[in-house]
Structure 1
């Protein structure tokens, strides 16, 4: 395994100069520019966290910063926890590294009694019950899919600072469609009633924490002054993901101060559906003409082959993000070329990927250094089954939180109890193992899978953390391990579990592995079928870029040409692969010689029956010419038409607004048997999938 060539970590010492050791010239510029507005444009793998933590540490050790007057904000508890850990290793304690919500909630809890009076209302953990109550009050049906859509719309409206009274105009301009299958005026009524429900229940929601904090700072100059005196220096990580609401709060925290450092990469903007916008990052030099702008482009994470692929993915990017594209420069030695493999179907793809991973592990690679990344969570199941059949352990990212697992909670109780009366000279590694054995840990993993394996992997993660703590902080004892676990539990910063990671591309953001398998990289999945506008397509391209840049050494791209074994091989590799396929030496082992290049644009799509170019949207939806023989059962098509008529009558709308005939034909030909496959059928958008997906599957499955 090739060693990473990132500069060595600076020693945890009180010397300011020592903090700068090992930084490259651009990172050093970030670390030593302590005053005024600073904008760091940092590409994937270029050491942005290293640069900003060393900047804070240099500021503290040089006397320019007082630790408790520095507020560093980011977007996940895990990232905030990692930042605190790095700062502590650099000899800096007391810096507030938090998420936007955690920082705001802390301030709101402190100032609420003196500004509003009484106790801060309870924080509602979920919006769904509140939305359902609002629908019931308006005598609207409140099925699960509608409630989910409307809850997302509540969140969007708040982070975009859209008042319910302005919702119709703003939502129409943003192309929000018909959330929950409701027209925009009705959605606006739901949003107003939702606020009434919260008042009646005496609760606030997640976004209210930011809104209320901003309101207090705006209306009480004395509170704003107190906060600005407390925090003199601000650092914002992942600035490309800031929403208008978060920017409003940040502006209020700053006041007239200039001590702001922002870090981001417009090419990693993948959460626009939740209100994230890179405009604040892109416009930073315009809003702050005297800002110092530093570009980090030296990629210490990935091999030249991976970096070249990442650059190629973005080489055809268009739109506002393209002007901020950073051309990465690899710093590591050369490695294997990316592979591109076409499988006959999804089942074969999952089995092939699992076999490749099993071979890698047998050759000595650790399972935790491998990831399988996909566009939708529905793709996970096939790879879970294939890995289990291959005897490979795995972890599904986004499942039950690590510190909520029963075995982890029990282990922490045992570790905490063992601290009392412990000989301080005991070796942390040995002592941790001795305690965790009583919780069920063993030196060798169990041969069984399922819950038994998952329990062992959780305990093994604690063993690994003890080893890491002993290595990075010599002299640490069991009490230090317990303190580290308590801090991580509060921040939900889970240690690494030794298993292949299965995750969506969205969930993989901020993580990295030696080898990444990008699966299902075909038209209809990446870009996803409901990405229709140019902006939507470009965000899908950035998702692939994020996936590629998670890899340190190897990238394996694959797709299935049909959904099920024996199916018609009509799927095409993603158009995003056009610029990168030439890097591979052929198609890779197991690839089909007939694999077709991805289309560059919809106008190049060809009929899967006669290979002639397709000219209409309906033909492209069917992937065949209108006069070529259909590949579906007429009885299935008629059954779908009957279902559509019934639905149209129920919602009092024309039948074509439910689904067009072309979409029904495509459904009859594809015969999807789960929601993930249904989502890949052109014409089945997310709202319709949520509203009618289960009914459609039941109709298709009827004999």
Structure 2
């Protein structure tokens, strides 16, 4: 007969005497999110509602509640964002917050693979390819297969972008071609052959590109369940910033990291997904409650950035989205100009109107440095640049070259 052992309950932990006055330093919605109990939590944070502040306080709250900092993973989209959050949390609480595992998905996965890559046939010291390196490898293989002699065959950087989309959007190459590169569909068979050679070359030479860091980590977890259990076991709490901009692989990684403890807080806004061209899939945030049963949805709707007149327009626009989380942005800031929608018959008319508005504002003693014109892409500014120069209005362009420099 097998022996049985029963683990006794720990004595009740003493009540935590929190140093930070969370209720007085946060608004009610932020407080509810920052101090929520464990389990899956989705924080739907409208623009300007203090989502970063909420994440920072959540981080401090977990550490102050007794969670070991080393067992918290903070996943962001830039290293700078992670560093700033950890620094703010440390200033808020103490240096323990600097021991949190903060960084991008890629850096987190790199750390895992450096320790366990041999389990999937790669050396621990595998080489990382940036996008330029990957393009060069593609170019070498394209030459070996004599595809560079084909009529109107895509350039190496275009091919690298295609292959990247295949991985981070988790779609077949042919689907990527049909959706984004229809002009290259006639080359589909050659491109698929090139992709196979590209994958083999990387494995044979111990190479991984940025997309591979995500994909190979998932592969590692599937082929080595013990490693998956070890990594997920060390992720007692997972915090994810900008969840609306995750791609399919990143969404799968979040689920993998939380497989043991199930404590995950994802913060994002389905109305602010702008990185589809990099593989982001806004459906990830919409599907979060289905992927994580028992999800509690917290909303941040108190805006600190805009006037109510602007928010009324934004709320009205958002209501027209077919798939969304319902939210109503509000603010205590009143007054301000009404937003205006001006439809122009052509670029020339639009540029003249913008310059007229700039000059009118300057006449009202608004400095030029306090005015900004936003564009979807840098080249959309060219016509306006001509008009600004014609009217001798000085300007600085951020992102891309000025027309006079191009």
Q: Which residue of 1 aligns with 2:198?
A: 194
Q: Which residue of 2 aligns with 1:54?
A: 57
- CA-CA distance at 1:248 after TM superposition: 2.2
CA distance in 2, matches of 1:230, 1:315: 41
How many residues are aligned here? 379
SS of the residue 2:294 aligns to: coil
Residue from 108, 111, 127 that aligns with 2:113: 108
- CA-CA distance at 1:301 after TM superposition: 1.5
Distance 1:384 1:120, change over 3 A: farther
SS of the residue 2:299 aligns to: strand
In the TM superposition, 1:240-389 aligns within 5 A as 240-318=244-322, 321=323, 323-342=324-343, 345-347=346-348, 349-350=350-351, 352-354=353-355, 356-357=357-358, 360=361, 363-365=365-367, 367=369, 370-384=371-385, 386=387
Residue from 217, 223, 229 that aligns with 2:227: 223
Q: Any conservation in 1 of the 2:126–2:206 contact (CA below 8 Å)?
A: no
TM-score, L = length of structure 1 = 0.49
- Is 2:159 the partner of 1:150? yes
TM-score, L = length of structure 2 = 0.80
Gaps of 5+ in 1: 1-13, 400-449, 452-673, 675-703
Q: Any conservation in 1 of the 2:153–2:184 contact (CA below 8 Å)?
A: no
CA distance in 2, matches of 1:224, 1:189: 32
Q: Any conservation in 1 of the 2:235–2:261 contact (CA below 8 Å)?
A: no
Deviations 1:189-213 (A, max 9, x none): 2321222343566532110111122
In the TM superposition, 1:481-520 aligns within 5 A as none
- Is 2:47 the partner of 1:40? no
CA distance in 2, matches of 1:52, 1:118: 33
- CA-CA distance at 1:35 after TM superposition: 0.8
Q: Any conservation in 1 of the 2:162–2:173 contact (CA below 8 Å)?
A: no
Q: Which residue of 2 aligns with 1:28?
A: 31
SS of the residue 1:372 aligns to: coil
SS of the residue 2:372 aligns to: strand
Distance 1:315 1:290, change over 3 A: closer
- CA-CA distance at 1:364 after TM superposition: 4.7
SS of the residue 1:182 aligns to: helix
SS of the residue 2:21 aligns to: helix
Q: Any conservation in 1 of the 2:168–2:248 contact (CA below 8 Å)?
A: yes
- CA-CA distance at 1:236 after TM superposition: 1.1
In the TM superposition, 1:59-98 aligns within 5 A as 59-63=62-66, 65-91=67-93, 92-98=97-103
Deviations 1:646-666 (A, max 9, x none): xxxxxxxxxxxxxxxxxxxxx
Q: Any conservation in 2 of the 1:355–1:390 contact (CA below 8 Å)?
A: no
Q: Which residue of 2 aligns with 1:599?
A: none
Q: Any conservation in 2 of the 1:70–1:233 contact (CA below 8 Å)?
A: yes
- CA-CA distance at 1:70 after TM superposition: 1.4
User: What CA RMSD, in Å, does the superposition of the two structures yield over aligned residues?
Assistant: 3.3
Q: Which residue of 2 aligns with 1:129?
A: 136
- CA-CA distance at 1:299 after TM superposition: 1.8
Distance 1:357 1:68, change over 3 A: farther
- CA-CA distance at 1:177 after TM superposition: 5.5
CA distance in 2, matches of 1:283, 1:343: 38
CA distance in 2, matches of 1:386, 1:232: 57
Q: Which residue of 1 aligns with 2:168?
A: 159
Q: Any conservation in 2 of the 1:16–1:62 contact (CA below 8 Å)?
A: no
CA distance in 2, matches of 1:264, 1:36: 17
- CA-CA distance at 1:386 after TM superposition: 5.0
CA distance in 1, matches of 2:321, 2:272: 12
